[in-house]
Amino acid sequence: MTSDNPVADRLLSDARKKTARVENGPWGTAALIIGLLALASCGLIPGVGWALGAVGVAVSIVGMLRPGSAMLSRIGLGTSIVALIGATFFFLKSTGRI
């Protein structure tokens, strides 16, 4: 950039910021993967689904505090909570309480 035309420099800087690729952090990716694994295992083995769901909630909360991985962490939090509810349902169903 040159200092000859400050308006063009500002516009070019703004355009580069808008087109920059957003990087997803490792916490968000981990939260999403753990949430999906918990969701997949909650119907087969409710204890494993419940444990993975709890870990997924914790990792999602940590990931939401990081600026680069907030969106994936929110998705991971949702899948982890659904897995916790599903694992609880399947556990109660297998013990005959429902």
Buried b (16+ CB within 10 A) or exposed e, 44-68: eebeebbbbbbbbbebbeebbeeee
CA distances from 82 to 16, 66, 70, 89 (A): 39, 23, 18, 11
pTM of the model: 0.75
Listed in sequence order, the DSSP H helices in 1-98 are 6-19, 26-41, 46-64, 70-94
Longest dimension (CA), the chain: 78
pLDDT per residue, tens digit, the chain (98 aa), is 556 778 878 888 887 777 766 667 899 999 999 999 999 999 899 999 999 999 999 999 999 998 777 889 999 999 999 999 999 999 999 998 88
CA distance 85 to 46: 10
Using alpha carbons, select from 91, 88, 80 the residue that is nearest to residue 40: 80
Query: How far is CA 89 from its chain centroid?
Result: 23
